[in-house]
Chain A
């Protein structure tokens, strides 16, 4: 009998226990509207022409009841896609503003027409509009190193120092580095293509330099672990290549970097996603290693970087390697996310 009373008391105590949750439901709000649900006046605002570097468009629509909506913007040239989801009694600037970014590895282009599709959870009827991009998005906390737009690289031709030039390769006759318009790019219409054979089984095939338009690249104000070097990389599905990056410093401030007396920092081999298509690689500058610790001041000076170097290496010695690179950036606080 005593046991029964004890257990009954325990049961009552447990039943009375309240869980201390800071929410009334699990997950985001979900509403499934009936199939007959219809809306009016779906449109892009403030106009169907938008310069993403200057303004953030939004969408409007009046609804007969609270509903869960999804707007999908698709670039008809680039293939870039942005999805905006929300729940509300209406669609307006409060719940549908688009900052110009994209969800996949393609970026919306200047002059591109986009389709806009609106759907509601539970209803099969969809609503459509169009939007024309008159200016590309500018990403906050991002320094563009090279977009490869509007320039021409040719391994036999002269190259503007401000854009970079070709690094020597073991055998230039078997190495090709050039701007490429054939491939569908992640940004704009051009990327740079690397294609070569590691003729001396030393892994290295070829590379490029990038210089600031004047003086130094200055990434000061941030710690090295919050500064990232980013690049879009296209793999041909053969998983044949890796990239490595390095940068040089002007430790003594004489305006020139000298590899025999000043620091050079290298990322080592950065693995590339071997699956067919574009992906993003991001490397924290903190992970760069001093190429020769016996020279230079051994301190990573983010305000004295005179230039970057990007190399492609074969993944397997003595083999052919190829990939494309586009939209080389430095970001602050977090890796680049288009």
Chain B
């Protein structure tokens, strides 16, 4: 964990900020005392600590790599919500954070006191709901969507706890992107012909100008959905990412990407059956001018995604199928940007092989380390690691994919069982580096069984099971044969009132060869790098969790992570970690 030493000037600045925030808290306290109903508070306190031990062949004859380490911090997010008027709410979250064990001078850097969120929201004439400031935005899977970093729908509660912390720290609230700007929503009800019209508009700035050569970059989006009845629904979406060249004196580039999609959903209902026909389609327009190369690149493409589902209502069982075709040059940065930097350096025990090599972030790092995540929109396709998902690395909007999806799901809050199974048969639309096309077969699914509900027990008891199998093949002059297997197993059992034992296991295997595309600033493929692996990653976890009340708990876990690299034993290591956490949310 990085601890900065501050200069006097920086120290004074931090001190001033802290005094200002403390003053603000005092003022709100006074206001709260006077106008009790206008202000409410929320908060999250977390104390988090890890103790790590690293061993294995990667540290043989190694005197320099860190074998043991510990890290701990405490933080408090204090939310103040002020509603001076019925239709207006001003809110802020102030964060103070402290590294446990650091001296006072080091704490200045670590004990960051800052505004984590500032937002104003309200209603205009009871017709338009608005939010300004730090906002969470999403639209459809092809327009504005923050896809999950890998398949993890049926994880153990032990892993879900860790992942929730990472998501909170990175503002990964569902599949929203956290941006700064404003969004406006309206829901108009009609008495005749139409049921309702839903409209949404947003404008955010995702890159700040440096005033000389880097211009401001904005996201402008909107959608209109006409709900004619519960049987017919039509919609249109627009999203644009563009540079405002006037905000820099001598702009180095000028980028714009526009996307327009149409949506439909038709419903047909029978006594015991419910049919849905749905889909989305539309074109994308990419344009990028790069001054240093005196070059403008433009390309257009499109996608369509059509689906049909049938639900057997008595059993809450849904059978669905779909066909999608996403063009090779389809571009939608707000839906294709990865939420995680796959090649970033892990923050815990990061060096191996005599501290000469940075350990590649594993599935355990991806699940537990906040610092690996991305909150920016990238206009080019980011590099990904095929072992964590090769068929749709950029989510549903992954370009150059076409094929069928068939699935079966059962989900019911009253039922003890949630399950899902999905098969995808995809291929590329256009070959990469050769005319031969890659083919992708994906088998995914899992179940969550609430045994307490099933056996009418008063205490919690549940099991989870998830799996994902992906196969990528290509024949021809550059053959590819790449397979991954992911298995998740979890158990939670409340053996004493509010005290649970949590067990979890995760296994990821990747084997074969792939070719990773290198891209230039215009998103064109310029070269291919070999990606050849034969590796197995295993996480075994056992822990306890005591729940004080909803979302507040104390937990201790022991985690054992094993990385087995058949091709290079220098990368074989075992990582044991004890993790403790106290979270109180109100």
Q: What's the Cα separation between A89 and B432 when bound, in Å? A: 20
A30:B306 contact, CB within 8 angstroms = no
A79 to B392, CA, bound (A): 42
B517 within 8 A of A: yes
Check A27/B232 contact, CB under 8 A, given A7-B277, A21-B329.
no
Q: Which residues of chain A are within 8 angstroms of B525 by Cβ–Cβ distance? A: 26-28
Is B435 a contact partner of A25 (Cβ separation < 8 A)?
yes
Is there contact, CB below 8 Å, between A28 and B279? Answer: no
> Do A29 and B433 touch (CB < 8 A)?
yes
* Known A-B contacts A7-B264, A27-B432, A27-B528; A19 and B327 likewise in contact (beta carbons under 8 Å): yes
Among residues of B, the one whose C-beta sits closest to the C-beta of A33 is B477
> Residue among A4, A30, A66 with the most chain B CB within 10 A?
A30
CA distance A85 to B306 in the complex (A): 43
The answer to whether A30 touches B434, judged by C-beta atoms less than 8 angstroms apart, is yes
In the complex, A31 has a CB within 8 A of chain B: yes
In this assembly, does A213 line the interface, its C-beta being within 8 Å of a C-beta of chain B?
A: no
A21 CA to B429 CA in the complex, in Å?
A: 12
Q: In the assembled complex, how far is the CB of residue A222 from the closest CB belonging to chain B, in whole angstroms?
A: 15
Is B517 touching A27 in the complex (CB atoms < 8 A)? Answer: yes
Given contacts A7-B279, A19-B301, A66-B477, contact A25 B266 (CB under 8 A): no
Cβ of A19: which chain B residues have Cβ within 8 Å of it? 301-302, 327-329, 429
Q: Mark A16-53, 1 if CB is under 8 A from B, else 0.
A: 01010100111111111000000000000000000000
CB of B551 to closest CB in A, whole Å: 43
A128 CB–B CB distance under 8 Å: no
Beta-carbon contacts of B276-311 to A below 8 Å, as 1s and 0s? 010101000000000000000000011010100000
In the complex, whether B557 has a CB less than 8 A from a CB of chain A is no
Bound together, the chains give a CA A25 to CA B429 distance in angstroms of 10
Chain A residues with Cβ below 8 Å from B430 are 21, 24-26
Q: Could you tell me if B281 and A32 are in contact, using CB atoms closer than 8 angstroms? A: no
- Measured CA separation A147–B514 after assembly (Å): 46
Instruction: Tell me the smallest distance from the CB of B560 to a CB of chain A, in Å.
Output: 35
Interface: A151 (CB within 8 A): no
B515 CB-CB contact with A under 8 Å:
yes
A64-100 CB contacts (< 8 Å) to partner B: 66, 85
Please state if B433 and A24 are interface contacts (CB–CB under 8 Å). Answer: no
Q: Contact at A14–B528, with CB atoms within 8 Å?
A: no
On whether the beta carbons of A30 and B515 are closer than 8 Å, the reply is yes
Q: Which residue of chain B has the shortest Cβ distance to A66 in the bound complex?
A: B477
A51 to nearest B CB, angstroms? 31
Interface of A is mostly: loop
B304: contacting residue among A14, A24, A32, A121, CB under 8 A: A14
Report if B527 contacts A (CB, 8 A): yes
**Smallest CB gap from A29: residue in B:** B433
Nearest CB of chain A from residue B214's CB, rounded to whole Å: 15
Q: Which residues on A sit within 8 Å (CB–CB) of B329? A: 19, 21
Q: Which residue of B lies closest to A7 (CB)?
A: B277
CA distance A3 to B527 in the complex (A): 46
> B479: which A residues are within 8 A, CB to CB?
32
Q: Judging by beta carbons under 8 Å apart, are B277 and A27 in contact?
A: no
In the complex, what residues of A have CB within 8 A of residue B517's CB? 26-27
| CB-based nearest A residue for B250 | A287
Q: Does B174 sit within 8 A of A, measured CB to CB?
A: no
Known contacts A3-B266, A14-B281: A28-B301 contact under CB 8 Å: no
- B264 pairs with A25, CB closer than 8 A: no
- Which chain B residues border A14 with CB–CB below 8 Å? 281, 304, 306, 325
- B36 at interface (Cβ–Cβ under 8 A)? no
One digit per residue, 1 when the CB lies within 8 angstroms of any chain A CB and 0 when it does not, for chain B 428-448 equals 011111110000000000000
Contacts of A15 in B (CB 8 A): 325
The complex places the Cα of A163 from the Cα of B430 at a distance, in Å, of 58
Tell whether, in the assembled complex, residue A3 and residue B434 are in contact, meaning their CB atoms are under 8 Å apart. Answer: no
C-alpha spacing A28/B432, complex, angstroms = 8
A4-B277, A7-B266, A31-B477 as given contacts; A25 in contact with B434, CB under 8 Å: yes
- Other than the given A7-B306, A11-B304, A26-B432, 8 more pairs (CB < 8 A) read A14-B304, A26-B328, A27-B432, A27-B526, A28-B526, A29-B434, A30-B434, A30-B515
**8 sampled A-B residue pairs with Cβ under 8 A:** A14-B306, A15-B325, A25-B430, A26-B433, A28-B433, A28-B527, A30-B433, A30-B478
Q: Which A-B residue pairs are the 8 nearest by beta carbons?
A: A27-B525, A30-B433, A31-B477, A32-B478, A25-B431, A30-B478, A14-B304, A26-B432
